[in-house]
Each structure stands twice: as structure tokens, then as C-alpha cells.
Amino acid sequence: MEVTEGGLARFFEVVLPHVNEVQRRVVAGATSQMLGRGGKTAVATASGMSRNTVIKAEGEVVAGIEPSTRLRAAGGGDKPATDKQPGLLEALDELVHPETRGNPMSLLRWTSKSSTHLAAELVRQGYDVSSRTVLRLLHVLGYSLQANAKVTEGRQHPDRDAQFRYLNDIAQGFIDDGQPAISVDTKKKELIGDYANGGAEWGPAGAPERVQVHDFADRALGEFAKAIPYGIYDVANNEGWVNVGDVADTAEFAVNSIRSWWNGKGRARFPDADRLLITADAGGSNGYRLRAWKVELARLAAETGLRITVCHYPPGTSKWNRIEHRMFSFITTNWRGRPLTTLRTIIELISATTTDTGLSIQAAYDPNWYPTGVKITDAQLAAVPLQPHDFHGEWNYTIAQSVPA
């Protein structure tokens, strides 16, 4: 069968895009050998390869080329930058190594250690490198991009783990008995207005929502420029309730949020309940040292007829609060990239939060006024029917139903 110039060109047009460098040479060399006299020129013309490459390829085929994963012969290609520039690797390591931070001789000790910055500093030192070369060398040195890891909790109480076990046992007992067990906390205060909100959402290309450059509270709104979401998470039923205020995060506000949940959701969910368990952080508006928290809980117990048990997470462990992972994180995800322009917007976005595991949340606006700086006297505190538990009574206590003085 005669091989035409057009047919040969078509052959290489179809085959060459699908093969690597070694395979190109094998195909070209074998074809040239097959064609015989004039084959090298014909293959070079049809394939677009240089005649010298085809000559070399045929020589490799004739000599008997062995299958290999290498594309070039050993020693082929450009030499590594570290071979051409002795000391480059050590200079880069000196810039990145943690021990160099704060070194007065390092110009980068307080600047971003991006590959561009590192490359610029190495060029200043006389090396010829690009940011991409720096990235490759960083991997060679065993470095990777690192973010801060929140693992250091500071000084830990010796009974930290024991308190977690105690709290979990109490909660499981309430749930087993069909009694309500809730996790409570105040979510981060949010600015109300056309301010940037972290994250992004899908929308028409080139049409981002316009927001203000600076996150300065609107003076026209005064103290109402921030929303204060206080959350209640029903552990057993995977349900949430968020009371959104705009005055102050006080103990009175916190307890009224629990009251709102009980009246709007809890009473119907637990019609036979005579007890309520609240798990809360050690500080904030529901802190174990806050007198007003206990006085307001006593009022709630008197109103509802519930014996209220409170178990606080140990100091410094607020990130372990169940509500953070089971509810607040999903609210933040749901409104990412959305300016929280009004209280109505905030409430609607919270209420629209759901998860694949069945989380549902209701949210409501709290119009009440909550004064700050309210002093609780010794007599008021003494009137609270407080029953400290045997184990860390400051963290674990029960409040009966009698009305405080």
C-alpha cells in the first residue's frame, strides 16, 4: 500500500496530540524506518518535527529503545535552581523558619511570608528566582501554608474534663426522662446596615451587592446599630430559637430569651415537663458569677413552675458549647455574603437556616428595653432558692419555683 504525503500528515495529526515526548519519538522513528529511503524527510515534513529529531528517533528505534516512564534521558533538561545557585535553599529556609521571626536581621520578620515576598527578598540577596520557584522549593523543604489553629486554651481547671462528664451525664438523664435540655449562648453581635458580610454567594456575574467601604456603625441608629442574637438550642430535637434584640446583652435579656423559647416552642414540645436543664458558658450574660442571671432565672422558675438546673462549661471552653457547632455555625453559613441591612433581614435569614440533618430554627424580634448596670443586692441574691450541687456548686446548681424577694 502506497503511503501518500497527505495520508502521512493526517496520521501524525491524529496520533501526536495523544502521546508524550518519548512516544512521539518512537512513532516518528518507527515510521521513518518503515518508509526506508527518504523516510526521515517525509516524517519531518508530515509531523512538523525537525529532521535532526527524526534522525535521533530512528536511531533509538534501531538500537532498541526500552519502555520507560522517563521522558528524557538521565541528566537531560535544565539543572535545578538549587544546583545553579548554591545556598539558595538555605537562604529560603532561613527566611521561613519559625526561629527567624523577630530576628532583627530578617527584613520579613513582620511581613507576609507569601511566595512573592519571599522571592523578592531572595532577589535582593542576589538570587535569581521567581515566586513559582519559591513555591516548589518550599515544598522541598517540607513547608505548607499554615493558618492559626485554635488549640491553646490557656490555663485549664483541673476538673475541666470531670465537669464535661458531669454535664453530659446530667443532660443525658434529662433527655432520657423526656425533660427539656437546652444549650444557650449569645451569637456574635452583628452590625445592622449595608455593611460587608464575610463569604460569597452565587449571583449574576459582575453584579456584586454594593456595601459601604468601612464598617462604622450608623450614628443615626445610635445604640440600635447592632443586632444581638441570643440562641436556644433544643439538644434532643435539633431545634433552635433565636431571640434578636438591639439594646444590650444583659442577664435579663438572656433569661427573657429562654422565656420566649419556652412560651413559643418549649411548652408545646414538652407538655409534661417539670424540669429544665440549661447548659451555658461560664461568662457573658449567662455567666455563673453573674448575680442577675440567677435572680432572673428564679423569676422564670416561679412563672413556669419548672425546676431549673444550670450546668456551665468550664472557663475557657466556650467553643465546646453545643449551640456553636449545631446552630450558630449554620446561621453564619446561611447568610454569608449577604449584607444584614435590617433586623427583618436578620430574622428572616436566621429562620431560613436548615441542614441536611433536620435542623430548624425560629427567630423573633425582642422589642424590650434592657437597662445595663443593674445592681443585685445581697438580699436579692439570698432570696434566690438556689441549690448548689455537690460537685462544683458554683458551676452546677438548681433553682426551685419560689419567687425571690
Task: Return d(Cα 189, Cα 318) in angstroms, integer.
Answer: 16
User: Is 363 a residue whose pLDDT tops 50?
Assistant: yes
pLDDT score recorded for residue 402: 59
Q: Are 223 and 189 in contact (CB under 8 A)?
A: no
Bridge-based pairing of strands 226-234 and 239-245 is antiparallel
397 vs 116, residue with greater confidence: 397
The pLDDT assigned to 361 comes to: 94
What was the pLDDT predicted at 101?
A: 45
Q: Which alpha helices (H) appear in 262-357, and where do they start and end?
A: 267-269, 291-304, 322-323, 329-334, 343-351
Question: Greater confidence, 216 or 269?
Answer: 269
Average pLDDT score, the chain: 83
Task: Provide the β-strand partners of residue 183.
Answer: 233, 279
Query: All 3 cell numbers of residue 203?
Result: 449571583
User: Does pTM top 0.85 for this prediction?
Assistant: no
Q: Identify the pLDDT of residue 197.
A: 56
Lowest mean pLDDT among 19-33, 194-208, 339-353: 194-208
Do 266 and 370 meet the contact criterion of CB atoms below 8 Å apart? no
Would you state the pLDDT for residue 152?
A: 57
DSSP string over 228-244: EEEEEEETTTTEEEEEE
Distance CA 353, CA 330 (A): 7
Q: Are 132 and 85 in contact (CB under 8 A)?
A: no
Give the per-residue pLDDT at 204. 57
**Per-residue pLDDT for 23 more than 90?**
no
pLDDT, tens digit (0-9, with 9 covering 90-100), for 190-215: 887 655 555 545 445 544 555 454 45
pLDDT for the residue numbered 202: 45
Tell me: the pLDDT tens digits for 55-107? Answer: 988 888 888 777 666 555 555 556 788 888 888 888 888 887 654 444 444 45
pLDDT digits (tens, 9 = 90+) for 220-270: 544 457 899 999 999 999 999 999 999 999 999 999 999 999 999 999 999
User: Could you tell me the pLDDT band of residue 347, with boundaries at 50, 70 and 90?
Assistant: very high
CA 386 to each of CA 38, 198, 274: distance values in angstroms, whole numbers, following the listed order: 104, 43, 17
